[in-house]
Structure 1
Amino acid sequence: MLPNIGLDQLLLLDIETTPATAALEQLPDNMQRLWGEKMAKTAPESENEAEVYADRAGIYAEFGKIICISVGFFSLENNAYHLRMKSFYDDDESIVLNGFLALVDKFHTKYPHFQFAGHNIKEFDIPFICRRSVIHQLSLPKPLQLHGFKPWEMPMLDTLHLWRFGDVRHYISLKLLTAVLGIETPKDDIDGSMVGKVYWKDHDLERIVAYCQKDVTAVAQLLLRFKRLPLLREEQVTLVK
């Protein structure tokens, strides 16, 4: 069911994003106006721009920031797959991005034909990373220089698209897909809609990182399920510093 690519040729990833500031009024005046203009087009029925900013700014690269990127790598040990994970996280987004981009460069050197893997990474995670990197004037490694690629040439294995089976309109959340395939949910503590509050009100970055890593593990389990392979046990998942 999966394209003919080895699991050890995949770089699994998930990102967590939040509004760039704790509140709309903390944005520069021109950005506040531009947020209002954007909402007038995308959410014209909303009356409170500040509340909508708190709820939705984190999904727009122009008004949000990345606070965590977690990645995962498969390895085959004693005829069983294991998953190693590493997370880049900080209040300073440039630190998060620099760490991740350096890892992509290193992974590309080892596996020139690797692919990114994740859930909804084609429409969200990868574009968000690239846009925020440009904003910070960071050089994108070759695997993220995606201009000119045809949609089917993108070096990405997206579990959302795998489940579509050609149905371009169908959307399924990671929570629902894991549930229907009998995989432990990664949303047992918080979900994406809560990340902004947990970050700006509680400043519990470690809790967000743990949630991000659970999403990466869930994607790994989905890929194994699609290949009809045994799921990972807890002892087969390792965190790398």
Structure 2
Amino acid sequence: MTAHEGATVLVVEDEPSIADVLTIALRYHRFEVLTAGTVRQALTLAERTRPRAPGSARAGGTPIDLALLDVMLPDGDGRALGRELRLRQPDLAVVFLTARDAPAEIVGALGFGDDYITKPFNIDEVVARITAVLRRTRPADALPRRPPLRYGDLELDETTYSARRAGHTVELTPTEYALLRFLVRNGGRIVTKEQLLRHVWQYEHTPAESTVVETYISYLRRKLEPLGPPVIQTRRGVGYGLA
């Protein structure tokens, strides 16, 4: 559930808690992330990262691949900001965040941007939508391809976010993929429930009553075990790892 390693996302959101959650999740999925809380800050960042024009002595930085824009900002309208950013970089992908789900708002967002997401949102959905938008809007040969992650007969493609076991495709949700990837990256080590909650679900404080890890481990087992011997092991009182 990321687009492509090295893709740069500009997050423009004036609520610090939401901006922090988005930044942590996107960086976990290997995006480069720039953040701004106002229209003015966003335009300043865009100016600094605009690529240098051919023949110009002006230094330029890496261009922004996608802008994730809150529609309502303290010093302006996110849609107007999106238009201004597109004038500066015509191939920029734009996704809007909005607390409004009225049909007119949705039509307005889709009439200009590449997608929209309503608040409150699921962070997995945000990452998946950004991934989908970048796949549609960026040429495949312009995006770096990452080597697959492997452990035993498991193979995870980090460019397409697909999974295979023993040569068979395994259909995973974004959260299932993120959970399996964290286990694969840790090889045969046992990781605790607290580590999984922090790295996969971005929980800063572990809810004592949370059963989300156990639930998703059971989902993974249900999908992986028909294709081979049990691969996820449970260390009671400690956590989980790959056999």
TM-score normalised by structure 2 residue count: 0.26
TM-score normalised by structure 1 residue count: 0.26
Greater RCO, CA 8 A, separation 6+: 1
**Structure of higher CA gyration radius:** 2
